[in-house]
Structure 1
Amino acid sequence: MAIEYSIYDVFTDKRLEGNPLAVMYDADGLDDKTMQAIAREMNLSETVFIRKSDNPAYAASLRIFTPGGELPFAGHPTVGAAVALGERNPNGGDVDMVCVLEENVGPVRCAIRLRKDAPGFAEFDLPRKSSRIELPLDRAKLADALGVSEGNIGFENHQPSIWTAGVPFLLVPLHNISTIREMDFDPQLWERSAPLVEGRLAACYVYCRGGVNHTAKFHARMFSPEMGIAEDPATGSAAAALSGAIHHFDGLSDGHYPFMIEQGVEMGRPSFIHLHIDVKAGDIFRARIGGSAVRVAHGTMDI
């Protein structure tokens, strides 16, 4: 059996930057074991499998796998798959379309913009509002796992906390970019210090204000031993979780707030995630994640 696939670099408009994604087309005939094996073979942070949905109102059904297991939702596979589906539109030319993608977390509404000779862009409404998970956290042990001093954890009102918008992350604010760049993540110490959340070890997402790029509002890195990801160049689901922390710790008043989050800089794969938060009556009314995606390879896999 031969299955067609593409490789996209996501959350970037430049090839060989951003977060690589394998997009497997027409994957209806693949069982869970085979999809997991393909994800391990691709050895990227995520591989997305595009299948037909039983609901005719949905453009496709997505299954998302890391090398270590399946995810109910993830940002860069959603953006990459949306752009890939838009580019396979038989009408060609400029495309402005809205579609719904079915993921394990639920339906995800996406907007896609394609222009000739330009990278595609897609954004989606968060399928689930970010919510906080209250669990005890040991700052000293977290500092040891990150290879930083305990005094470098936290800035302004921001403190370590666990948030999820479909995938839980332990968000650790660090003092500044220098601290993030010089940190030394130890996966074994992390496994001893981070809690289990929804049956799995919480992934590590560190962040601070500012960025190497002057347009960035936050600078971030993500590590997940549980998912088989040593470090991720861009993590849309973590940015989705971060939306709750930003609203909570910064006390956002009613209005619209655009944020650019940069990630992957330390890996030589700079990525830029667009996060938009709308606050109404003191609470998050709506949040969106978006970014560019550019195809870098296409082929078939024999399985």
Structure 2
Amino acid sequence: MNRFDFTQVDVFTDTPLRGNPVAVVHAAVGLSDAQMQDFARWTNLSETTFLLPPTSAEADYRLRIFTPGGELPFAGHPTLGSCHAWLERGGVPRTPGRVVQQCAHGLVTIRLDGARTAFAAPPMTRGPVDAALLEKVRAALGLPADKVHAAQWLDNGPKWLGLLLDSAATVLAVEPDHAALKSLAKVGLIARHAAHAPCAVEVRAFADPVGIPEDPVTGSLNASFAQWLIAEGHLPRRYVAAQGTRLERDGRVHVDSDGDTVWVGGASVSCIRGELSL
């Protein structure tokens, strides 16, 4: 039986228990794919990550990301939480102020900005949504057609069906049929709050295909939403998104479009530090 340092980090919050947790296993060399998957299933968090030595000369570390149901090439809140845990355990980036993470999706740059970290949104592809599928998704969400202003497939590693709704109130009122959604798609909702609200938009993420009915705060989805909606003029180049409200969380995602790069960031706080025996 081997022992590994372990950290559980709450991401997109500076207040413990109000964001989205990720389990981080440090120096995970020696763990098999099956052991990683078994541990991720056991934690039953939306993601569990494993820090490994990089195989790229440009990277500071390599990260593998598992949900209870399988491995992901990239995910946002595990990226920020794992970087936080790595730095907290003494990790020193090759370039001051920048951490480069290697994952299955490629190299991801993470900007260190005071108490926050922010990742550079990876390349994203998007495309139209089949009308028949959209109708089924709307039915599973209980959404009338006039509440949905736009729909796109969004893929930056995780693939989401993104829906732009008419208002934040509509986003918060959705009561999904999770059993119906599970066979359809991972679905993300976004809409603007009224002017002068503390956050510009409200986001929700329904992720039944990976075993989590609703994800508290979702970095990859917020990155894709930003790339899509800033480019089309629906959102400003800098804003703060709220997510997790219906789950009694206070996730805050800070988006900053700087030239051709969209930075997605927030605060992180370690809640559990210990040792894993496996």
Indicate the residue corresponding to 1:226 in structure 2.
209
- Matched to 2:267, the amino acid is S
Q: Is the 8 A contact 1:83 1:121 kept in 2?
A: no
Indicate the residue corresponding to 1:210 in structure 2.
193
Indicate the residue corresponding to 2:106 in structure 1.
106
Give the structure-2-normalised TM-score.
0.91
Provide the aligned C-alpha RMSD in A. 2.3
- Matched to 1:241, the amino acid is S
**Following TM superposition, by how much is the alpha carbon of 1:248 offset from its aligned partner in structure 2, in angstroms?**
4.4
Supply the distance in 1 between the matched residues of 2:146 and 2:234 (Cα, whole angstroms): 23
Supply the distance in 1 between the matched residues of 2:36 and 2:151 (Cα, whole angstroms): 34
Structure 1: tracts of 5 or more residues without a match: 115-119, 195-201, 280-284
Q: Deviations over 1:46-101 (max 9, x none)?
A: 1111001123432110000111111100110111111112222278xxxx631211
Indicate the residue corresponding to 2:5 in structure 1.
4
Aligned-residue sequence identity (percent) comes to 31
Supply the distance in 2 between the matched residues of 1:3 and 1:72 (Cα, whole angstroms): 23
Q: Deviations over 1:198-221 (max 9, x none)?
A: xxxx31101110279933111011
| Comparing 291-300 and 132-141, the one that deviates more | 132-141
- Specify the SS of the correspondent of 1:239: helix
Q: 1:136 aligned to 130, 133, 136, which one?
A: 130
Q: Is the 8 A contact 2:116 2:266 kept in 1?
A: yes
Q: Deviations over 1:122-179 (max 9, x none)?
A: 1121232x2212341334322211023232222xxxx111112222110112222222
Give the structure-1-normalised TM-score.
0.84
Supply the distance in 2 between the matched residues of 1:270 and 1:209 (Cα, whole angstroms): 17
Supply the distance in 1 between the matched residues of 2:171 and 2:30 (Cα, whole angstroms): 43
Q: Is the 8 A contact 1:83 1:112 kept in 2?
A: no
Q: Is the 8 A contact 1:147 1:183 kept in 2?
A: yes
Query: After superposition, where does 1:273-288 map in structure 2 within 5 Å?
Result: 273-279=253-259, 285-288=260-263
Indicate the residue corresponding to 1:30 in structure 2.
31
**Following TM superposition, by how much is the alpha carbon of 1:113 offset from its aligned partner in structure 2, in angstroms?**
4.3
Supply the distance in 2 between the matched residues of 1:227 and 1:19 (Cα, whole angstroms): 16
Q: Is the 8 A contact 2:141 2:175 kept in 1?
A: yes
Indicate the residue corresponding to 1:87 in structure 2.
88
Show structure 1 runs of 4+ deviating over 6 A.
Answer: none
- Matched to 1:33, the amino acid is A
Q: Call closer, same or farther: CA 1:97–1:86 in 2, change over 3 Å.
A: farther
- Matched to 1:112, the amino acid is L
Indicate the residue corresponding to 2:74 in structure 1.
73
Structure 2: tracts of 5 or more residues without a match: none
